[in-house]
A = this chain, B = another copy of it.
Amino acid sequence: MKFLQVDTIEKAREKLLNAGQSLVATEKIALAEAYGRVLSQDVFADENLPLFRRSTVDGYAVVAKDTGAAGEALPTFLKIVGAVEMGQPAQMAIKSGECVEMPTGGMLPEGADAVAMVEFCEVFGADEVAIYKSVGTGGGVVQIGDDMKAGQLLVSKGKELTPQDIGALAVAGVEMVEVFAPLKVAFISTGDELITPHHAPLEIGKIRETNGITLSALAAKHGYHVAHTAVVQDDEDKIKEAVLQAMETCQIVAVSGGSSQGKKDMTADILDELSDGGVFTHGIAIKPGKPTILGFDKGTKTLMVGLPGHPISAMAVFELLFGWLIRKITHQPEPFAIPAALTANVPASEGKLTFYPCKLTLENNQYTATPIYSKSGLIAALTVADGYFLINRDNEGLKSGEAVMVHLF
């Protein structure tokens, strides 16, 4: 067995980011298609909005100080000199003693500085209104630029666009946005024991291939575009052919399978041989997920990845490395995690970062996290997991009741 240096997670991430930086690309898309996409440049407002002083209530545009003494017993009487139409400029102007009928959303006429709510107004005759409640300057009015000011940063680079971001950009008149283009990923599953669903029923000695479909879902969650999947036998030439084919279209080529030492060595050798620059990480101090291989082909700018064969291990590695990578190269913050108290003692692996799936339970507005143990290679137990927590390599384990941060799946 070859003696191979195992990287810490920090070291492996540093190398991965170094190589992954060069893969970033952006594209321009319609704002209407941009929900959930990540902005690749800051967007600024280029005008003051609203563009005009807008009423927030139905009522009468007034000179606020005219209403200073208005009360239920002694209203202020004002002369109605016109009515503002929705969507039209207010053509008139008012002076002290006058008012104009206003719809919610209408434009304030010149001279007015407040809107008295219709609920506190009573019309007398053809052109007089009694105001029963005083209104302060600016009352019932949104001022020019109250929503956004020309030059103001509206949404930052690295923001995954929410509905309200899209709303604010639409208000500002933005029709197209520049976002990060999804990186193209290939998943190649290897193994003589693998059968694909259309080869069912299962025979003794075989297992159904699952890494391709599972990792594709996980990759989609992180915004990757899975452009290619393949299942190949444990044959060096066939694996090489599959990797070379995937390198033609994808920026990340991940080969999974190979939990036995011979297969791991073969995968590492193939990825090393096919990449100009070669394999830079031969293992990572994480559990599960130690037998992970990372390399980079400078020629085609392709990240070359060997993932463990066990589905949970492969998922943990993808989550911890490629979930992280995409956030880094697209300037996204780390997602929110949920503070929770452990319901059981959990041992950790000396010298390794440990990844623990867990189930969350809410009681009295506090969460508890129940660790889920699953034997190597099994996945059904994971269907009840809501997320995972991590134990640092310098920690010997955690006690029941201790606080963890749970990252949601």
Contact = CB atoms under 8 A, between A and B. Distances in A.
A372 B350 CA distance: 45
A285 to B, nearest CB: 18
Interface in A299-336: 309, 311-312, 315, 336
Interface string A16-33: 000000000000000110
A365 B338 contact: no
A155 interface: yes
A383 B43 CA distance: 12
B380 A45 contact: yes
Interface in A182-212: 191-194, 197-198, 200-211
Interface string A237-266: 000000000000000000000011111000
A227 interface: no
A336 to B, nearest CB: 6
A382 interface: yes
A322 to B, nearest CB: 13
A2 interface: no
Copies of this chain held together in the complex: 2
A101 B49 CA distance: 75
A339 B367 contact: yes
Contacts of A380: 45, 49, 147-148, 152, 154, 168, 171-172
A381 B377 CA distance: 48
A89 B166 contact: no
A171 B221 contact: no
A298 B175 CA distance: 38
Nearest to A35: B217
Interface stretch (A67-75, A102-110, A267-275, A392-400): A102-110
A213 B31 contact: yes
Nearest to A220: B35
Contacts of A170: 197, 208-210, 213-214
Contact of A309 (B105, B159, B163): B105
Contact of A86 (B54, B172, B193, B214): B193
A318 to B, nearest CB: 9
A224 B185 CA distance: 28
A99 B173 CA distance: 74
Interface in A29-75: 31-32, 35-36, 45, 47, 49-52, 54, 56, 58
Contacts of A214: 163-164, 166-167, 170
Given A166-B213, A217-B166, A408-B336, A88 B205 contact: yes
13 contacts: A35-B220, A56-B375, A103-B262, A104-B259, A105-B260, A106-B205, A167-B315, A167-B379, A168-B380, A171-B380, A173-B200, A175-B197, A336-B362
Interface of A: 31-32, 35-36, 45, 47, 49-52, 54, 56, 58, 85-90, 103-107, 118, 142, 146-148, 152, 154-155, 159, 161-168, 170-173, 175, 191-194, 197-198, 200-211, 213-218, 220-221, 234, 259-263, 309, 311-312, 315, 336, 338-339, 360, 362, 365-367, 375-383, 385-386, 403, 405, 408-409
Given A146-B378, A167-B213, A172-B208, 17 more contacts: A47-B202, A49-B202, A56-B376, A105-B193, A105-B260, A106-B193, A147-B380, A154-B383, A163-B214, A163-B218, A163-B409, A167-B379, A170-B213, A171-B311, A336-B360, A339-B366, A339-B367
